[in-house]
Amino acid sequence: MSTRTSSEGASSIRDNPPVDDETPDEEGAFPRLTDDQVATLEVRGSRRPVRADEVLIREGAPDNDFVVVLSGKVAVIEEGDVDNERRILRVHGPGRFLGELGLLEGQVAFFTAEAIEDGEILAVPAEQVRELIAHDPVLSDLILRAYLVRRHLLIGLGSGFRIIGSCFSPDTLRLREFAMRNRLPHRWFDLERDERAEQLLHRLNVAPDDTPVVIWHGEKVLRNPTNAQLARVVGLAVADAAKDVYDLVVVGAGPAGLAASVYGASDGLNTVTLESIAAGGQASTSSRIENYLGFPAGVSGSELAERAVIQAGKFGARILVSAEVTGLGSEAGNHVLRLADGGTVHARAVVLAAGAQYRKLAVQGIEALEGTSVYYAATYQEARICGTDPVAIVGGGNSAGQASVFLAGHVSHVHLLIRGDDLGKSMSRYLVDQIEHHPRVTVHRNTEIRAVHGEKYLDAIAVGDNRTGDQDTIRVRALFVFIGAVPHTGWLADAIALDDHGFVLTGIDAIHARADDNLPISGGMSRTLETSLPGLFAAGDIRRGSVKRVASAVGEGAMAVRQIHEYFEGS
């Protein structure tokens, strides 16, 4: 619930008070701390008075303190767009705390917090709160849960920075994907159909030809920034020039890579993780994973990733985004990873956990619809874009099944297309049961897409029965594609042994590959996750023979660290 105000001054906020902080909580987003919890926090912080109109957090600036309201009230405000109108998102009273996920991950603030009454606050440095969360399970769960839900709410409200660009622009699509995959609050203004886009450009003296642009706080304009430039603005860690040799470099921040990061850092290894786009991997595209051990009610892939990132940071691991690895070499007995921006990272040992990406449909014209109505992920952001329009999903694995169940709760109807006749062939039974009993899901067996129809946005798909040849047209406004994966190993083709499909060979397969190339076999080559290059390990979907499940990927990431210790002891 929100209230609109003018930006003429903070007085207008006090003159137009929003709903107070007694509004019912939303899924634990706004808990009230007990006196004992405030006392625990006070040991690490300090009290101070605040005056009405005082800005405690400013949108676009680093958020360095965990703030608890002791008395008075504080409004959480979204800064305006075209007409500088500000929106009050929430009011916090005594016992409530400010902030969201960015505070724990070192990002800038995506909102402004302003006192609307005289009062008193408790300010605790962010690093102290991160330390406390690592040792106090009750406060940790309370704060982390609230921050995760608040980030979700901010994304849903379209808070944060603005992306202005055409839906036909590859760079617009790139920036939107980077923002969505990193779960950054933002709003996209499509030049093709949103009149506010031109109003914003005119106010900022930006020509349409200069788009896409990213706008921060209604003022700062980034003209077609690289992913790394955008990452730096919002406070995400990116790769910088460094001459240090890391004990462990993890390539890829999916479940396997994040597990390797957590276990490597917790074992005392100097660990850095390189991720080309965003932490979470394919798992982050799943709206709900219901068969992951320890989460009986299910957990979204993005929440699992956020928790893992925070956990890795707790032990000292660095996770760098927009760090695309393009080559592998060696120097002075260490592995050297070459980055797309020209930099290098040196490591004593490496875990390859770059995973795989979904294959794209070989259907003419589908590329033009990617990002506007053709998607390779099914999260809350894509569901919000779809509204209630019917959608189609292609694929017969768990990802397609999870997407079907999730989207069926938001759209009017889901058409699930599979090439075979057995839905349970590669999908977990619990998902098959949910799909077959869901009134808004129709399964089209032995069905393949022949064509897509639509110019700017998808209008319909032409499908065919691969047994009878019968043709049909299904009217849908979005298409989700989950049709198998291709490993991210193009940059490794000449460096280590791969199978015919590009998956990394490990263990006994790697030994055979070395023997076939007449290369010496070291005593440790029997390690199940080691590749044909000693000191280089593989975990998760990138590895041949891996089980395509989140739990197994996490297990392999942990196991790789154990085998790295064995490698160090024998080297």
pLDDT digit string, tens, across residues 495-510:
999 999 899 999 988 8
Q: What pLDDT, in 10s, does the model give residues 461-484?
A: 999 999 999 999 999 999 999 997
User: Do β-strands 74-78 and 112-115 pair in parallel, antiparallel, or remain unpaired?
Assistant: antiparallel
Six-digit token pair at 186? 């933002």
Q: What pLDDT, in 10s, does the model give residues 309-329?
A: 999 998 999 999 999 999 999
User: Do β-strands 220-223 and 245-251 pair in parallel, antiparallel, or remain unpaired?
Assistant: unpaired
Are both 3-157 and 245-357+486-570 of the same fold? Answer: no
What is the third-level CATH fold of 367-483?
A: FAD/NAD(P)-binding domain (3.50.50)
| Average per-residue pLDDT for the chain | 89
Of all residues in the chain, the percent with pLDDT exceeding 70 is 92
Q: Quick check: helix, strand or coil at residue 109?
A: coil
Model confidence at 354, pLDDT cuts 50, 70, 90, reads very high
Break the chain into its structural domains and give their ranges: 3-157, 161-234, 245-357+486-570, 367-483
* Residue 4: per-residue pLDDT: 47
Give the helix/strand (H/E) hosting 140: helix 137-157
Six-digit token pair at 47? 């009290």
Helix pair angle (126-135, 35-42), 10° resolution:
120
Give the helix/strand (H/E) hosting 219: none
* Residue 484: per-residue pLDDT: 79
Domain 245-357+486-570, second-level architecture: 3-Layer(bba) Sandwich (3.50)
Give bridge partners of residue 46 from the DSSP assignment: 123
Q: How many CB atoms lie within 10 A of CB 545?
A: 12
The CATH homologous superfamily for domain 3-157 is Jelly Rolls (2.60.120.10)
What is the third-level CATH fold of 161-234?
A: Glutaredoxin (3.40.30)
Answer whether 486's CB lies under 8 Å from 359's CB: yes
Q: Quick check: helix, strand or coil at residue 249?
A: strand
Answer whether 256's CB lies under 8 Å from 353's CB: yes
pTM: 0.85
